[in-house]
Structure 1
């Protein structure tokens, strides 16, 4: 069974990428909020922000998610690690769910196919960051390294 690496040497790089994704989502949400202010919450209009279709509800959710993701990656530690793991999965699930209902009235977040693709890509990248940004003590890292080396030779 594979283990999540502890204190991976590229941990800051992964966390930076996840933080940049959080910043993009936050900016997308703020611009989307400005563009959709006054529209119904779940409007199915033709509002595009930074190449993605949105509505007021999706803009608000994006602001909240962007703040959590960016904040978690700025704070770091185990909290940031868990936010990246959970947030990546959440974003991928949301993308798949919205793809299944895209051509129906259940498309309450006004997703388009480009929004689905970006959601899936961002979810994969954030989840990957979560796999490699786990912090730990030197002893934790040494124990993980021993486990991996023993698994290879077994």
Structure 2
């Protein structure tokens, strides 16, 4: 009996639906975020390639106030295209993509901050690029986490329902019986 009381409760595996409904309002936030950031990165990359800057040139060529070279331009276009694909797909994929790329942008900012005045700075980063990387990273994380991470998600939110399956099921039964007027009130 004593050993049974010491056992931790069984873990529940929370699995989110693979896709949000196409008309869910969160889907629009994820798509807009991915599309907007992807478009900005593609424009920056194309402008860098138009200037015909050397691929690994660290001479200080600027585009839209940011230092760049051919490698950074191509990388920006590739990441921008990935974000546009995420925008087209939408749903959890766009949200997760935004979060992952946001973390990578912030990590890139820190790495490139450490490499600023070294010979390893092959992407020609300067401090304004580091700040831009931080801003894009935070924006992508905001767009990706919107509606997924909060202490007060509404009860009709699919992520809240996935984290609280028993209460969501109970509320759904109560609504079906007519005892619950609004979602999340009870």
Same fold (TM over 0.5): yes
Task: Please state which band the TM-score falls in when normalised by the shorter chain.
Answer: 0.7 to 0.9
Residues 40-55 of structure 1: pairs in structure 2 closer than 5 A = 41-55=55-69
- Contact 2:109 2:134 (8 Å CA) reproduced: yes
Cα distance in 2 for partners of 1:129, 1:31 equals: 25
TM-score (norm 1): 0.78
Match of 2:134 in 1: 120
Match of 1:74 in 2: 88
- Contact 1:11 1:133 (8 Å CA) reproduced: no
Match of 2:123 in 1: 109
Corresponding residue SS for 2:51: helix
Query: How far did 1:26 drift?
Result: 0.5
Match of 1:18 in 2: 34
- Contact 1:11 1:132 (8 Å CA) reproduced: no
Change (3 A) 1:143 1:33: same
Query: How far did 1:36 drift?
Result: 2.9
Q: Which has the higher contact order (CA 8 A, sep 6+)?
A: 1
Query: How far did 1:11 drift?
Result: 4.7
Structure 1 or 2: more helix by fraction: 1
- Structure 1 residues without counterparts, runs of 5 or longer: 150-154
Query: How far did 1:108 drift?
Result: 0.8
RMSD of aligned C-alpha atoms? 2.9
Higher Rg of the two aligned structures: 2
Which moved further from structure 2: 138-147 or 64-73? 138-147
- Contact 2:30 2:91 (8 Å CA) reproduced: no
- Structure 2 residues without counterparts, runs of 5 or longer: 1-13, 149-155, 168-186
TM-score (norm 2): 0.65
Query: How far did 1:127 drift?
Result: 1.2
Count of residues paired in the alignment:
141
